[in-house]
Amino acid sequence: MISVAEALAQLFSLVRPMEIEEVPLVSASGRTLARAVSARRSQPPFPSSAMDGYAVTDAAPGMTLNVIGESAAGHRFDGTVSAGQAVRIFTGAPVPDGATRVVIQEDVTRDGDRITLGDRLDEGTNIRPAGTDFAENARFDAPKTLSPFDIALLASMNVDRVPVARKPQVALISTGDELVMPGETPGPDQIIVSNTFGLHALLSAHGAAPRILPIARDDRASLRHAFSLIDDADLVITIGGASVGDHDLVAPVAEELGIERAFHKVAMRPGKPLMSGLLGETMMIGLPGNPVSAMVCGQVFVLPVIRAMLGLPAQAAPRRSAPLAEPLPANGGREHYMRAVLDEDGLRAATRQDSSLLSVLSGANALLVRPVDDPAREVGERVDYLPLT
Ligand code: AMP
Ligand code: MG
């Protein structure tokens, strides 16, 4: 058995990064920027007014000024403002030449073309200098998974097409005679495929393009057939059939198909039977079938692999720490990812940790990480966890 960290390192060594494709900005949210881009212009491109008011050369309480024109957003005032003059101005409009500040309209009384400034004027210039947000050619660094906020910034930079990493194509193969698809009528000894759909959701939410293949039955021909359907997938994930029981055929069939096997067993709970290797160009990960094990391995192994495929740094799932709200007994020889709830009192591990309990996983918002041979822990001690989002 190898450690979780060793398994991850071996997985990363099998990763081939995706090539770059260009997508329109409107489709780029959640995609991973593959190459740095730069601003095509400054923002704002001219000194612009931050408020509605009057652009002036100088201001003092009680001063009276002549209004000589107007500058609105999209329609600048072409002349110059001189002492004793003011230009009516609106938010986002270019500040006319000669003006050094904008007096907000609340501080002004207007009578025809004359304005009188109030007794108390606010201090600021209310002018946004050209390039305050960013200057032309400012770099937007890659790699980065683009958030809605990034999309707004790139739009403002006039970047309309974005170089992103191609989405990794992932083929999901469920294995087992007992499985039927959700919505089908199960036989008396059958159950519904669950983690396959959970993994599909997890992968879609993290930048991959997953595809659910027909369920492979517990015989070699059926499994071979499923593998024949992976086409141009970058990653094939099998679920179940991965331990060493009589009906666990994933490893033998993958070997028959010529897999270069990287490892088979990892010292973790849940999820000990885990395998990986290369089937020609396609990376393969074999996950355990137990629903919670498969989902936890999805968080701990599959998502970091997807991130590496997208060109993001090859790193373990990011951890945080929080104080315990309840004590924990000592941990054994396998790294344990306990289903837990984090609230304002701290972290509390669920009482039932069986790896078949999806209701417990669904009610959890954290995986509390117990290192190998971690001693018993008291209330208030800080422990690591992976947020479940
Ligand atoms: P296995 O690894 O094939 O021995 O499966 C371990 C347990 O997980 C068994 O109880 C299976 O019925 C169950 N299982 C396997 N694959 C799935 C799946 N895709 N969805 C739900 N349960 C599964
Ligand atoms: Mg099975």
Bridge partners of residue 139, in order along the sequence: 38
Q: Which atom of ligand 1 is nearest to the CA of 288?
A: 2
Q: What is the pLDDT of residues 50-60, one digit of tens each?
A: 999 999 999 99
| Ligand 1 proximity of 173 Cβ (cutoff 6 Å) | no
Question: Which ligand number lies closest to the CA of residue 194?
Answer: 1
Q: Is 238 in the pocket of ligand 1 (CB under 6 A)?
A: no
Ligand 1 atom having least distance to the Cα of 196: 19
The set of residues, in sequence order, having a beta carbon less than 8 Å from that of 58 and lying 6+ positions away, is: 83, 100
Ligand 1 contacts CB of residue 271 (under 6 A): no
195 lines ligand 1 (CB under 6 A): yes
325 backbone φψ class: left, alpha, beta (φ>0; ψ -120 to 50): alpha
Highest-scoring range by mean pLDDT, 236-245, 260-269, 315-324: 315-324
Structure confidence at residue 247 (pLDDT): 79
Alpha helix ranges (H) inside the chain: 4-14, 148-156, 195-205, 220-228, 250-256, 291-297, 303-309, 358-363
92 Cα: distance to centroid of ligand 1 (angstroms): 60
d(CA 52, CA 187): 71
291 Cα–ligand 1 center, Å: 6
The tens digit of pLDDT for each residue in 169-222 reads 999 999 999 999 999 999 999 999 999 999 999 999 999 999 999 999 999 999
Amino acid at 366: A
Residue-wise pLDDT tens digits, 86-118: 999 999 999 999 999 999 999 999 999 999 999
For residue 242, the model assigns a pLDDT of: 84
**What distance in Å separates the CA atoms of residue 7 and residue 301, rounded to the nearest whole number?**
8
Report how far apart, in Å, the C-alpha atoms of 159 and of each of 26, 41, 167, 212, 382 are. Answer: 11, 10, 21, 35, 44
The pLDDT score that the predictor gives to residue 272 is 84
Regarding the beta carbon of 242 and ligand 1, being less than 6 Å apart is answered yes
Which residue owns the Cα nearest ligand 1 atom 23? 289
Q: Are 282 and 236 in contact (CB under 8 A)?
A: yes
> What confidence tier does 234 reach under pLDDT thresholds 50, 70, 90?
very high
DSSP 158-211: T--EEEEEPPPEEEEEEB-TTEE-TTS---TT-EE--HHHHHHHHHHHTT-EEE
Instruction: Give the model confidence (pLDDT) of 243-301 as tens digits.
Output: 777 778 999 999 999 998 877 789 999 988 889 999 999 999 999 999 999 999 999 99
Residue 367 CA to residue 356 CA, distance in Å, equals: 15
Length of the chain as a residue count: 389
pTM (two decimals): 0.94
**With 90 as the cut, is the pLDDT of residue 35 above it?**
yes
Looking at the CA of 192, name the nearest ligand: 1
pLDDT at 353 over 90: yes
